[in-house]
A and B are shown apart, each in its own frame.
Chain A
């Protein structure tokens, strides 16, 4: 059964979209990842224009992060001051991202930029996940522990930064500039690639800022909720690229899949699944990379399909 997406202006198979939403939702619940980094390239693969895929994915990420942040707030795992600083940076990055997106689109380089961005980030994330999960299987010490155990002295360069603030919940007294910059980078990713950016923010906050692990995920989700919401509204206003029908279709089964996945994650042996996810992420990255490197089937293309 075909359904016409009013903003994407294409007709897609409704079961394909529902299946994608469910599958990515299940994975995101199972592994606690946003799923945007898989969904956006998959949407582009099935023919959704890149700008609509990115804009719609921002709106769709709001849904998954809202339920996540509420759960973390109940447990008191959100540092609101740190969240506010990250969000402020996120708004700036998102604004720059939407502007940059438009410039690159007009120049005809947006598809390339999105692909390059995904190859880079999926490569890094998939690679790290693979390395992280292999020691567990090979019965060696996880890399994350090894990194943390490198001990004091590694934050010295950032201790010299001005505008220090006290973050009580995180038990930190650090410069606000670093979280601002991290927030801005994540906002840029949301606007240009349609990902939540948690995969970047969580390790950056732990290893660079030194935030305690138990508050970092809730605080990241807090930032992601507000930054993806702002980005979706901005994309709607400036680029008209949020397809509400597509977003709702993805949500319908997606939220269900995420909940089922979250329940399963306690019962299923994680190590091998984590390796599978890492390989899946790397496969998407390789497929995108091949498209960039191999001689294209057609070197000509029509402009980004804009109605002039």
Chain B
């Protein structure tokens, strides 16, 4: 249903776009990902049209956060966290999709300037005096851990182009996706240059009972949340005891 709607919308927008000579238009099948109680990850369809041949790169960036990477070391017989490196302003989620492998249509300079591609994400340690080698080791670990968590991903040729005009790709968001405002950047490359770009915002937020509970637990009424949880637990235990005493 979502997909059919998206395609209908795509067909509807594609023709006016070329008529008005806009080089690139893009949109999402949904601008809101709602994390409800049954949430186990979701896909959002990105679709759009260009005014002619070219390559498409799509970058999805989650809200920037501070990340701590820890390395274990031996302390006697046991392994304990020893060193740690703090990275500031790291995208909490990062995904790249493109019509061809990035290196085939875009020069490295542009890729790193616009931070397109997992390897091009800028990650600077908070401690500026850190030796470059150590920073690199920890940065590689951060990239790897984020990828294992399903929060960083780089697809190869996963943007489908149709008649050099229409394009579409599925963006996956796993169950552990961080909440916040996401930016979906769409780049149109021609002859190694970015000829056009478009940014579409996407909101990921908790909705429903779970969200209300989260707000209650993290807000200024947190004390009463705890009190309520304890009263609930206490009355559940009391009820069970009372019921079973009669059985």
Binding site for B on A (CB under 8 A): 1-4, 6-7, 9-11, 59-60, 62-68, 70-71, 108-109, 112, 116, 225, 229, 232-237, 240, 242, 244-245, 247-248, 251, 255-256, 258-259, 292-296, 298-304, 307-308
Contacts and interface: CB of A to CB of B under 8 A. Distances in A.
Contacts of B77: 293
A300 B70 contact: yes
Given A4-B36, A65-B237, 12 more contacts: A2-B38, A11-B41, A63-B236, A66-B238, A67-B238, A108-B84, A225-B234, A229-B234, A244-B229, A247-B232, A298-B145, A302-B142
A118 B32 CA distance: 42
User: For this complex, into which size category does the number of interface residues on chain B fall?
Assistant: 35 or more
B94 to A, nearest CB: 14
B229 A236 contact: yes
B230 A4 contact: no
B241 A235 contact: no
B15 interface: no
A293 B79 contact: yes
7 contacts: A2-B38, A4-B37, A10-B176, A62-B230, A65-B237, A225-B234, A259-B241
Given A59-B229, A66-B234, A242 B217 contact: yes
Nearest to A7: B217
Nearest to A291: B79
Contacts of A112: 78, 80-81
Contact of B223 (A7, A237, A259): A237
A52 to B, nearest CB: 11
A233 B230 CA distance: 7
Contact of B237 (A67, A248, A307): A67
Interface string B68-91: 111111000111110010000000
Contacts of B38: 1-4
Interface string B203-247: 000100111011001100011011111101110111011101100
B175 interface: yes
Contacts of B79: 292-296, 299
Given A66-B241, A109-B81, A308-B65, A59 B217 contact: no
Main secondary structure of the interface of A (DSSP, over half): helix
Contact of B65 (A293, A295, A307): A307
Contacts of A6: 37, 206, 209-211, 213-214, 217
A308 B78 CA distance: 29
A205 to B, nearest CB: 23
B110 interface: no
B237 A66 contact: yes
A204 B211 CA distance: 44
Interface of B: 35-41, 65-73, 77-81, 84, 138, 141-142, 144-146, 149, 175-176, 178, 206, 209-211, 213-214, 217-218, 222-223, 225-230, 232-234, 236-238, 240-242, 244-245
A245 B209 CA distance: 10
A234 B226 contact: yes
Contacts of A9: 176
Contacts of B234: 62-63, 66, 225, 229
A245 B213 contact: yes
Most chain A CB inside 10 Å of its own CB: which residue of B81, B227, B228: B81
Contact of A256 (B39, B175, B240): B240
B227 A233 contact: yes
A237 B226 contact: yes
A71 B238 CA distance: 10
Contacts of A251: 233, 236-237
A236 B79 CA distance: 30
Given A10-B175, A255-B240, A242 B229 contact: yes
A235 B210 contact: no
Contacts of B222: 236-237, 240
A27 B160 CA distance: 55
Contacts of B211: 6
Contact of A108 (B70, B175, B228, B237): B70
A299 B71 contact: yes
A150 to B, nearest CB: 35
A112 B75 CA distance: 11
A7 B213 contact: yes
Across the A-B interface, give the 10 residue pairs with the lowest CB-CB distance, nearest first.
A236-B226, A303-B68, A67-B241, A63-B237, A255-B240, A300-B141, A6-B210, A233-B226, A66-B237, A11-B175
A211 to B, nearest CB: 24
A113 to B, nearest CB: 10
Contacts of A11: 39-41, 175-176
Contacts of B176: 9-11
A295 to B, nearest CB: 7
